[in-house]
Amino acid sequence: MTTKATAIGPEREKLDANLAKIEELSQRLIEALAHRKPINAALNGPEPLLYAQAMQAYWQESITNPAKVFEQQVGYWGKSLSHFLEAQKALSEGRLAPPDDPGPTDKRFKNPLWDSHPYFNFIKQQYLINAEAIRNAVDEIEEMDPQEKRRLRYFARQITDMMAPTNFFATNPDALQRAVETEGDSLVKGLENLVADLEANNGELVVRLVDEEAFEVGGNIATAEGKVVWRNRMMELIQYSPTTDQVRETPLVIFPPWINKFYILDLKPQNSLIRYIVDQGYTLFVVSWVNADESYRDVGLEDYIEDGYLTAMRVVREICGVDRLNVVGYCIAGTTLALTLSLLKKRGDKQIKSATFFTALTDFSDQGEFVPFLQNDFVDGIEKEIEASGILKSFIMSRTFSFLRSTDLIYTPAIRSYMMGETPPAFDLLYWNGDGANLPGRMTMQYLRGLCQRNEFAEGRFELMGETLDVRDVDVPLMSVTAETDHIAAWKDCYRGVQKMGSRSKTFVLSESGHIAGIVNPPSKKKYGHYLNPDLSLPAPEWQQSAEYHAGSWWPVWEAWLRKRSGKMVTAREAGDSEHPPLCDAPGTYVRVKANQ
C-alpha cells in the first residue's frame, strides 16, 4: 500500500501543478476576450426571419398534415427509446458492452471506444439519431421557398456539426485519454494554444491550422527566381528568370486571385506551376496583388482592371517587344479577366491571343454552396462591416470558406489544438491558406451585388468603365480548367459560363480533386486525372458522362495547347529592360504584407 501511494503521490502533484497553470491561463483567456471587437452580428448567422419562416412552414404542415408530423415525431421518439432500452438491458444483465451499431462510419468517431464503451457508444448513437431527426425535419418542410430551405438546411447542418460530442471535452475519449496519459499536460498546452490564438487575433477565435514558424515566404516557399519589374498601388509585376536558352516569342501573364497570395503556384519546386511553365520555355510574368488596407476603401473592379490587368499587359508588351500576349486568370482573377476581355472587345483591342481560366466563375445564376452567404441579410452585414472599416477583413472571408467544411477546417483542428494540446503541423498548403488578404470595400460590394447576386455579367448588363460588359464578348481562343470536387467554384457553374462565351475555340478541362489540388497537380505526382470532351453544347452532366478520362495531370495538355498560340522560339529574355529596371528579387514586397497589419 505504501509503495502504491508513493507512486501515485508525484503524479498527483504534477496534476495539481497543471491545474494551477490552467487557472493562470484562464486569467489570460479572460483578458484576451476582453479585447475582442465583435463584427457585425449579421455575419454570424441568418436573420431570425429564416427560422421564423421555417417554424411557420412546420406549423402549417402540422395543421394541414398532422399525421405526417406525428409520424416524424413518433419515429424519433421510438428510435431514442429503443436506444435507451437497449443500453439499460445491457447494464441490467451485467454486460458492460454496447448494443450492435449498424450505423454508417464517421471519421469523427474513429476511436474504438466509440463502439466498445457503453457510455461513449450511447452518446454517439443518440447524437446520430438527433442529427438525422433534424435533417429529416428540414427536408420534409414543404411550404418554404427552395432557396430559403437550402439556407435552412445549411445552418441546420452547422448546428448539428457544432453539437457533435467530439467537440466537448467530457464526451471526447481521445481528449480524456490524452489528459490522463499526460497528467494534465495536454490541457495546459491546449489552453496555451487557445490563449495564443485569441491574443494573436484581438480576441477573435481563429483556429491556427499550421505551424507558422516553419515557413518563410522567399525562404523555403515561393523561391522561384525572378525580379519585380513594375510596381504601382495595385500590384507588383514579377518576371521569372528563364531556365532555357530559348523561349516562345509570346509571353504569358498570370493573374492570381487577390483573396489569397500568388505563391500557391510556387509552394515548393516539386509542385510549382511557375517553375513548370518556365522550364517549358515561356517568358512568364505573374502579378502579385497589394494587400489592401483601409486606404483602399474606394478601390473597385475598375481599378483592378486599369491599374492591374491593363497596366500589366502594357508593361509586358513593352518589355518583350511584342504586340500580343497570352493570359491566365485564377478564381476571382479569372472572373475579372473575363470582364477585361469583354472591355477589350468593346474597345476593339486585340492584344490577347488566348486566355486560360482556372476555376473561374462568370455565371452566378446558381450560387451553389454559397447560397447561405449571398442573401441580403449576410451581404448587408458585410456592407455594414465595410462601411466601418473600409475593407472586408481577411479573417471574415477565411471563416466563411471554412464553414463550408466546418468539421475539417474548424472543429477537428480546434480539437487537436485546444483539447489534445498538439502543435499545428508544418504544412505549406495550410500556411498559404492562412496567409490571406483583405479586400477593398468598393470592389467587394461590386462583386457581391453586381456579379453574384444580380448576375449582371452573364446577363449582359454589367456597367463598368463606361461600357456594358457581357460574357458573350469573350471571343478569344480559351481553355477553362475546373475541378471536380471544387466547393468554391463548382465546375458545372464554370461550365455554364464558358458555354455562354463567344469564342469559336473553347477547350474545357475537368480535373479531379478540388479548388487547389485540382490546379496544383504536377505531372510528376501522377495523382489526379482529368476529363476532356470537345462537345460543349451538352448539359454539364452529359458532358462529363460522355467525356474521355485521362490519367495524370492536365498540365501537359494545357502546355501543348498554349504552345500552338505562343509563336516561334527566340533568345531567352532576362528580367526587365532599360525602361523597366528590376526593382527587387521575387517574390517581391507586397506578398510579405500580412492581412492583420
In this structure, are strands 467-469 and 462-464 parallel, antiparallel, or unpaired?
A: antiparallel
Tally the C-alpha atoms within 13 A of residue 533's C-alpha that lie toward its C-beta.
19
Q: Is 296 helix (H, G, I), strand (E, B) or coil?
A: helix
Grid look-up 448513437 returns 125
| Helix ranges restricted to H, 163-310 | 173-181, 185-200, 273-279, 301-303
- pLDDT reported for residue 339: 98
C-alpha closest to that of 586 among 179, 263, 369: 263
Residue 114 near residue 121, CB atoms below 8 Å = yes
Measured at the CA of 518, the angle between CA 514 and CA 524, to 5 degrees, comes to 140
Question: Are the C-beta atoms of 282 and 586 separated by less than 8 Å?
Answer: no
d(CA 158, CA 403): 8
Per the annotation, the verdict on 331 as an active-site residue is: yes
Query: Which contiguous run of DSSP H or E holds residue 83?
Result: helix 66-92
d(CA 238, CA 585): 9
Strands (E) in 226-337, as ranges, are 226-231, 235-240, 246-248, 252-255, 284-289, 325-330
Catalytic position from the list 331, 452, 494, 584: 331
Nearest to 162 by CA among 336, 462, 406, 339: 406
Low-confidence ranges of the chain (pLDDT < 50): 1-7, 50-51, 54-71, 73-74, 76-77, 597
- Residue 449 contacts residue 455 (beta carbons within 8 Å): no
Q: Is the dihedral of CA 130, 131, 132, 136 positive or negative?
A: positive
What are the residues whose beta carbons fall under 8 Å from the beta carbon of 535, sequence distance 6 or more? 543, 546
Question: Which residue do the cell numbers 483573396 mark?
Answer: 259
pLDDT in tens, 230-286: 999 999 999 999 999 999 999 999 999 999 999 999 999 999 999 999 999 999 999
How high is the pLDDT of residue 596?
Answer: 58
d(CA 132, CA 76): 9
Is residue 325 a contact partner of residue 250, using CB atoms and an 8 Å limit? yes
Q: ∠ CA 406-448-367 to the nearest 5 degrees?
A: 55
Cα distance between the two ends of the chain: 60
Number of helical (H) and strand (E) elements in the chain, helices listed first = 21, 17
Q: Which one, of 362, 114, 265, lies nearest residue 591 by Cα?
A: 265
Who's near 237: CB < 8 A, 6+ residues apart? 228, 229, 230, 231, 285, 286, 287, 288, 312, 315, 316
